[in-house]
């Protein structure tokens, strides 16, 4: 596949669901400003989205929405599912942008989300079996840090966390290791912004890492500053299956970006921000759930074999 053919494939890889946006403030059982950036998981035969919901003060909490097919017939918890503890300085301005992964060893779901503290955003961890009761394990690393997710299993005995600290104003994707989910070390950069590209200003993890036969698919967002504002798009990378600190491939082009009016117009214009991924084994499809213009939830669908073909056609990465 030459570069032109690859770019052509990138532009048709993901198909927007024709019923987008699938969740909006109008669907909500209680008054809210917006709903966006959900974590996604299959649970008890349903598709569950843990949505970021912004209340009428401008603070966020997390609420569960369930659907039998991940597209329609959503049932939304009648009240917030996970609220910030307002007595805690670390969460005083709310909870944002959850990513969910099933921890094989613990037989529990790990939710990594952002607590918005006085000192900036903190990557925090909660564990649950049922999305009704949660063990809240608190902040994992100091601020300013966002866009984090664990891998579902250990590598050489240690857990791995993808996250996005901001250092000297630079926003690259990092990977850190821990023996116990509490003490983190061996911090290293995984993916860097690319000057002058669509992902030149900032990058961060999208959904949870997706396991493919070729390695871990890393879905990430990239930001470009323009004279008018900024554009949030989505790209792909491939990490080594046994050593996810090794980047094997990275897409030159984005695979999803603001195009439809629900992505271009909203609380923040021109944002497609993927936070939930779901592999539909029955159909061989990958669903990506994303926040559209920071005030609605939308979904884009790809054939998983096409995604594999595309990422393997992307350039190898020099590290």
What's the number of CA atoms in the CB half-sphere (13 Å) around residue 1? 16
Instruction: Give ∠ CA 47-15-201 in degrees, rounded to 5.
Output: 95
- For the chain, the first-to-last Cα distance in angstroms comes to 24
Q: Does 232 bind ligand BMA (CB under 6 A)?
A: yes
Task: State phi, psi for 99 to the nearest 5 degrees.
Answer: -120, 145
Q: Does 291 bind ligand BMA (CB under 6 A)?
A: yes
Spatial separation of the C-alpha atoms in residues 309 and 302, rounded to whole Å: 12
Instruction: Output 216 or 273, the one with its CB closest to ligand BMA.
Output: 273
Structure tokens given for 90: 């670390």
DSSP 8-state code for residue 271: B
CB 294, min distance to ligand BMA, A: 5
Instruction: Output 77 or 263, the one with its CB closest to ligand BMA.
Output: 263
Instruction: Output 97 or 285, the one with its CB closest to ligand BMA.
Output: 97
**Mapping DSSP to helix (H, G, I), strand (E, B) and coil, where does residue 165 land?**
strand
CB 312, min distance to ligand BMA, A: 30
Instruction: Output 97 or 253, the one with its CB closest to ligand BMA.
Output: 97
Instruction: Output 95 or 255, the one with its CB closest to ligand BMA.
Output: 95
Give the residue carrying structure tokens 């990430």. 220
Task: Give me the sign of the Cα torsion angle 18, 21, 22, 28.
Answer: negative
- From its phi and psi, is residue 140 left (phi > 0), alpha (psi between -120 and 50) or beta? alpha
CB 97, min distance to ligand BMA, A: 5
Query: Using the rule CB under 6 A, which residue among 20, 34, 37, 251 binds ligand BMA?
Result: 37
**Mapping DSSP to helix (H, G, I), strand (E, B) and coil, where does residue 93 land?**
coil
Query: What part of residues 267-286 is at the interface with ligand BMA (CB under 6 A)?
Result: 268, 271, 273
Q: Does 206 bind ligand BMA (CB under 6 A)?
A: no
CB 221, min distance to ligand BMA, A: 8
Instruction: Output 234 or 244, the one with its CB closest to ligand BMA.
Output: 234
Residues of this chain that interact with ligand BMA (CB under 6 A) are 37, 96-97, 232, 268, 271, 273, 291, 294
């Amino acid at each position: 596949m030459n570069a032109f053919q690859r770019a052509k494939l990138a532009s048709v890889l993901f198909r927007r669901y024709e019923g987008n946006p699938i969740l909006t403030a109008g669907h909500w059982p209680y008054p809210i400003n917006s709903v966006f950036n959900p974590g996604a998981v299959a649970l008890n035969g349903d598709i569950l989205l843990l949505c970021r919901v912004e209340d009428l003060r401008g603070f966020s909490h997390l609420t569960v929405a369930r659907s039998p097919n991940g597209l329609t017939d959503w049932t939304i918890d009648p009240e917030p599912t996970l609220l910030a503890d307002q007595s805690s300085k670390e969460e005083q301005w709310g909870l944002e942008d959850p990513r969910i992964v099933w921890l094989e060893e613990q037989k529990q779901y790990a939710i990594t989300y952002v607590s918005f503290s006085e000192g900036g955003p903190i990557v925090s961890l909660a564990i649950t079996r049922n999305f009704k009761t949660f063990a809240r394990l608190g902040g994992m690393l100091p601020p300013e840090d966002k866009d984090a997710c664990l891998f579902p299993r250990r590598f050489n005995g240690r857990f791995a966390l993808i996250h996005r600290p901001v250092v000297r104003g630079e926003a690259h994707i990092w990977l850190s290791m821990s023996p116990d989910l509490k003490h983190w070390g061996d911090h290293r950069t995984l993916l860097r912004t690319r000057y002058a590209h669509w992902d030149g200003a900032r990058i961060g993890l999208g959904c949870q890492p997706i396991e493919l036969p070729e390695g871990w698919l890393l879905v990430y967002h990239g930001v470009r500053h323009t004279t008018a504002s900024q554009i949030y798009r989505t790209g792909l990378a491939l990490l080594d299956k046994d050593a996810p600190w090794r980047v094997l491939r990275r897409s030159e082009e984005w695979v999803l970006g603001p195009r439809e009016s629900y992505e271009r117009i909203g609380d923040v214009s021109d944002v497609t921000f993927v936070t939930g991924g779901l592999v539909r084994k029955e159909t061989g499809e990958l669903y990506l759930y994303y926040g559209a213009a920071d005030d609605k939830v939308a979904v884009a669908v790809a054939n998983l074999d096409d995604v594999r073909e595309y990422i393997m056609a992307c350039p190898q990465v020099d590290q």
